[in-house]
Chains A and B, each alone.
Chain A
Amino acid sequence: EADIYQTPRYLVIGTGKKITLECSQTMGHDKMYWYQQDPGMELHLIHYSYGVNSTEKGDLSSESTVSRIRTEHFPLTLESARPSHTSQYLCASSPGRGGDTQYFGPGTRLTVL
């Protein structure tokens, strides 16, 4: 089982609040990803990183931002949350060399009131 952690697991906040979703992995993986997923629906890639100081936007337009200052840490920030941001956010990592299996964290379920 992979060592990738997300906090918080659940978050309920009001509109307009700034929030940061944390994601950490202890496997030394180069690649990290953020996905947005509504319950039972498909995964939408919103951000990814192939290493420190490298970040890219994914296929789904998102008002969030990410940073990758350390290999193990890939936080996602929403400057001003809105009800349309209500969803589950999944973080994943992969070794970045051969295989490229993605290991997913448990997710953060975000509700914006």
Chain B
Amino acid sequence: GAVVSQHPSRVICKSGTSVKIECRSLDFQATTMFWYRQFPKQSLMLMATSNEGSKATYEQGVEKDKFLINHASLTLSTLTVTSAHPEDSSFYICSARDVAGSSSGANVLTFGAGSRLTVL
């Protein structure tokens, strides 16, 4: 089945630094990838939709200058948390939809294992 790899799985950084998280579709091409944020015991909150070859679409309330998304190829999207602060500490998860998709149109997503960011 489809596999999405996310790296790093865990990162600790100092306040004010930037952190890059990679999301790769390993055995399929993904024109669209999604970035979510999840706080403990809370739902997955969609941050942005990453589109290959074009600008990402951000959800309301998500700072695009804070969370830089680049989708340079059909198999790689990156999320960069710029000038990270302790409140950015969270579990970030990406997902991807196979371009072959579902014949019925369902958004069957494959998720990465997530990246836990801790900002000191």
A and B interact: no
